[in-house]
């Protein structure tokens, strides 16, 4: 009798473990499908609007900000200046632009005409 109850207990334990494993797999696959659906929605939104997803631009900004510390220490500390001295990535290139006046287009008045609001008295 003891042998039969041990066998039944082992079988029930195995069934419970397999059931929990199946539920865990279903939950994990559901979360994976949710993530893939979210990525597809973000991709379609990017394709139709032309705007990159916010998370992508945030990670790009973080990566660009962290690159200055990876290559040569903190800015202004004097460390790593040899890497930037040759203008390796173009950060030391400064281009001055001459300012110029923007003229008035030919055939137009110098004065900008704005419509004056018409004030009407009370109706009697």
Instruction: Quick: pLDDT tens for 16-70.
Output: 999 999 999 999 999 999 999 999 998 898 889 888 877 778 888 888 888 877 7
Q: What span, in angstroms and rounded, lies between the C-alpha atoms of 85 and 69? A: 16
Provide the phi-psi class of 76: left if phi over 0, else alpha when psi is between -120 and 50, else beta: left
pLDDT exceeds 70 at position 100:
yes
Please count the structural domains in the chain: 1
How far apart, in Å, are the Cα atoms of 30 and each of 39, 40, 66? 14, 15, 35
Residue 102 is assigned to a structural domain of this protein: no
Confidence (pTM)? 0.42
What pLDDT sits at residue 109? Answer: 64
Answer yes or no: is 95 within a domain.
Answer: no
Could you tell me if residue 27 is inside a domain?
Answer: yes
Binned at pLDDT 50, 70 and 90, residue 103 comes out as confident
Assess if residue 52 is contained within a domain: yes
Range of the domain at 31: 2-72
Task: List the beta strands (DSSP E) in the chain.
Answer: none
DSSP state of 114: -
Give the C-alpha separation, 44 to 89, whole Å: 34
Structure token pair of residue 68: 């200055």
């Amino acid at each position: 009798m003891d042998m039969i109850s041990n066998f039944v207990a082992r079988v029930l334990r195995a069934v419970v473990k397999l059931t929990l494993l199946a539920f865990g797999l279903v939950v994990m696959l559901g979360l994976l499908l949710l993530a893939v659906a979210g990525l597809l929605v973000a991709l379609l939104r990017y394709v139709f609007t032309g705007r990159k997803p916010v998370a992508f631009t945030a990670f790009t900004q973080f990566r660009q900000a962290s690159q200055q510390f990876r290559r040569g220490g903190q800015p202004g500390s004097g460390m790593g200046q040899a890497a930037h001295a040759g203008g390796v990535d173009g950060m030391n290139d400064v281009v001055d632009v001459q300012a110029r006046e923007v003229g008035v287009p030919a055939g137009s008045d110098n004065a900008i005409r704005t419509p004056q609001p018409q004030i009407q008295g009370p109706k009697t």
